[in-house]
Amino acid sequence: MSLTISDLDKEIKALEEELKNFEYSLEGYLISTGNEELDMRLGGGIPVPNLLAIEGDHGTGKSLLAQQITYGAAKAGKRIVYITTESGIKELVIQTKKLSLDFTEEFLKGYIRILPVHMEGVRWARKVARELLHVLGNYMAYTKDDYDILVIDSFSVLAVYADTSVVLDFLTRARTMVKEGKLIILTIHPEVLPNEIMIRIRAIADSYIKLDFAMVGGKLIKVMKVIKLRGAGGPVDSTIAFDVDPAFGIKVVPLALAKA
């Protein structure tokens, strides 16, 4: 049996398709949040690589969501750098444990590196504040072989005293890290950064989740609005209602139930 040109053509097309799928499987994967219900609503988990911006007012759950993802990633054997302006190392480990997001073991094994950045008083030293984000940008780039996921909670606290050019430069560098396969998570308090920077963050981020409070049926609940999620594994729920539960961390509440 001899091969015709059209057979060959088909074979080449099939090979190309196979290669494309192979490349895709090399490039992207989904990280479970360690919370099945939340994963399902997000189309299977958080897609990696990704630049994920989590925006919301005080107490809406930015840190919690970042910790929930950190927990899931740690359980999946990923290496995480968690930069926090909000707590010390011990505090963070204890606080997450209280919410059943216990990553003590992974922390002790060195899979999670927690870097507390204390900002108290920094506002009086603008020069230091300005430099911090630049230094963190260097750290992010120089240690890229040592982590899969980098969290900055809160990015807005670090960015607020920096010059616009420094913030924009940092975002460009974060994008470069994403091109290298990383998941970068930035939490942002919307009102503290200049509009110009907020617009840039929302545009440059692959994924953008906005957290808010909502009154449903006389009850105050938290709401996660998934504005975009690049590389999602399946259909994404654009509005996810949730509660904070010591037994679950994030506990997704069906909107219908929240209304009841």
Structure tokens belonging to residue 67: 């910790």
Select the span of 31-39, 40-48, 54-62, 246-254 touching Mg ion (CB under 5 A).
54-62
Place of tokens 């107490």: 59
Select the span of 28-36, 61-69, 196-204, 225-233 touching ligand ATP (CB under 6 A).
61-69
Residue 61 binds ligand ATP (CB under 6 A): yes
Which of 45, 47, 49, 56 forms a contact with ligand ATP (CB under 6 A)?
Answer: 56
Residue 84 binds Mg ion (CB under 5 A): no
- Residues 113 to 152: which contact ligand ATP by CB under 6 A? none
Structure tokens belonging to residue 60: 């809406």
Instruction: Kindly calculate the radius of gyration of the chain based on its CA atoms and give it in whole angstroms.
Output: 20
Which letter, b or e, does each residue of 14-43 get, where b requires 16 or more Cβ atoms within 10 Å of its Cβ? eeeeeeeeeeeeeeebbbbbbbebbbbbbb
Which of 50, 63, 67, 70 forms a contact with Mg ion (CB under 5 A)?
Answer: 63
Nearer to ligand ATP, 174 or 250 (CB): 250
Nearer to ligand ATP, 29 or 54 (CB): 54
Peptide bond into 235 cis (omega under 30): no
Spatial CA neighbour of 40 closest among 256, 250, 181: 250
Site residues for ligand ATP per CB under 6 A:
56, 58-64, 86, 98-99, 154, 189, 244, 246
Site residues for Mg ion per CB under 5 A:
62-63
